[in-house]
């Protein structure tokens, strides 16, 4: 993706002022409510007109205040998935999908309605109207219609915000599978870091209409500029692992990873058994506040997971220190300044990460 943004946008007394070049194919925009996330998406989609600046997608100008150019939203080849249901209420699900397919520029892709409906598990819902759908079903239908329109870019404006916790967790795997299957560039806006890290660790963090920081998740944490935002909204470790053993009789599942880094050792974690069988890929979250650190392995303790790791960096935040660790996988542990001092932690220190099995939560 090649998206160039250099705009100033006003909404009442609020102003978004952002100059950014986005090249990663999947980017998460993160920040507290009122940071300017939705205003940014609406500017890219053409739903809001900046008072100054320029926007270009793949070298094609969408907005230029100096040249007085403004491409209408319908001509931008950008799909938008909102948090609320935007399906046409008078049409069935099939009718909505057919509308998306007919809105597609000729030759944009060769996807069939049947193929997309099957992917989003809409087969039994095609004859229903939106009023008869649950929130998760409505979002799946909205995403299917967007895919069928053949966009160059999809913007997600907090698409899961209206769903309850259980339905939100069930929807997350659809976004990852959609990303991998259709390979359409995405910008995903949320104030829930869990959702963003499930799709990508490439972040753009906004605060009061300005860029606070951007880059990979680990690098953003390392620099520490976003420490207060992360603390308020929930810093997380999100890991993709594979089930290798365990079961209902044992009362736990064994999860393994070969590590994200080349040559990194395989790690193994014990987690609660949740029905996944050996060979299944699962995604889990671990709060950095649920990871304890020790300078040596501890015997005769109920904690099921002890991983040897090396300290890569320590980021000092107002309420805690974020310790970035390499343990075959990247982890972040949040501890007090007193703990850092008492354990004499510094870059390069060898430590043990202690993680209770019950602290490992499944995303899907």
Q: What pLDDT, in 10s, does the model give residues 135-175?
A: 889 999 999 999 999 999 999 999 988 888 888 878 888 88
Q: What pLDDT, in 10s, does the model give residues 315-331?
A: 887 778 999 999 988 89
pLDDT class of 260 with cuts at 50, 70, 90: very low
237-362 topology per CATH: OB fold (Dihydrolipoamide Acetyltransferase, E2P) (2.40.50)
Global pTM? Answer: 0.83
Above pLDDT 90, what percent of the chain?
A: 63
Q: Picking from 15-24, 151-160, 256-265, which range would have the lowest pLDDT averaged per residue?
A: 256-265
Token pair 């980021």: residue:
315
Cα–Cα nearest to 214, from 50, 31, 2, 13: 31
Architecture of the domain whose range is 3-225: 3-Layer(aba) Sandwich (3.40)
Residue 301 has pLDDT above 70, yes or no: yes
User: In angstroms, rounded to a whole number, what is the distance separating the alpha carbons of residues 202 and 217?
Assistant: 6
Q: What residue ranges do the domains of the chain occupy?
A: 3-225, 237-362
Q: Picking from 64-68, 234-238, 338-342, which range would have the lowest pLDDT averaged per residue?
A: 234-238
Q: Which pLDDT does position 21 carry in this prediction?
A: 95
Residue 197 has pLDDT above 50, yes or no: yes
Residue 200 has pLDDT above 70, yes or no: yes
* Across 74-98, average pLDDT: 92
């Amino acid at each position: 993706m090649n998206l160039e943004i250099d705009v100033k946008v006003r909404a009442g007394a609020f102003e978004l002022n952002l100059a950014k070049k986005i090249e990663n194919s999947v980017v998460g925009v993160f920040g507290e409510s009122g940071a300017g996330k939705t205003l940014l998406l609406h500017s890219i989609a053409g739903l809001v007109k900046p008072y100054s600046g320029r926007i270009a997608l793949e070298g094609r100008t969408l907005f230029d205040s100096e040249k007085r150019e403004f491409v209408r939203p319908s001509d931008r080849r950008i799909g938008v998935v909102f948090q609320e249901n935007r399906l046409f209420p008078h049409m069935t699900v099939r009718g909505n999908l057919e509308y998306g397919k007919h809105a597609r520029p000729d030759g944009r892709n060769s996807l069939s309605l049947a193929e997309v409906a099957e992917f989003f598990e809409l087969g039994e819902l095609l004859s229903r109207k939106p009023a008869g759908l649950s929130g998760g079903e409505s979002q799946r239908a909205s995403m299917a219609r967007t895919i069928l329109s053949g966009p160059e870019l999809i913007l997600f404006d907090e698409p899961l915000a209206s769903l309850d916790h259980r339905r939100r967790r069930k929807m997350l795997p659809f976004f990852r599978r959609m990303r991998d299957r259709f390979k359409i560039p995405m910008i995903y806006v949320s104030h829930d870091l869990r959702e963003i890290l499930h799709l990508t660790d490439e972040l753009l963090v906004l605060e009061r209409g300005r860029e606070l920081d951007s880059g990979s998740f680990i690098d953003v944490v390392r620099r520490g500029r976003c420490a207060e935002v992360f603390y308020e909204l929930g810093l997380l470790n999100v890991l993709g692992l594979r089930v290798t053993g365990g079961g209902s009789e044992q009362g736990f599942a064994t999860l393994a990873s070969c590590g994200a880094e080349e040559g990194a050792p395989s790690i193994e974690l014990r987690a609660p058994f949740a029905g996944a069988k050996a060979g299944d890929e699962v995604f889990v979250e671990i709060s950095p506040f649920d990871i304890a650190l020790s300078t040596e392995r501890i015997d005769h303790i109920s904690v099921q997971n002890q991983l040897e790791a090396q300290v890569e960096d320590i980021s000092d935040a107002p309420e805690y220190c974020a310790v970035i660790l390499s343990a075959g996988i990247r982890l972040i542990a949040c501890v007090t300044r007193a703990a850092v001092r008492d354990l004499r932690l510094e870059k390069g220190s060898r430590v043990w990460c202690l993680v209770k099995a019950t602290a490992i939560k499944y995303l899907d």
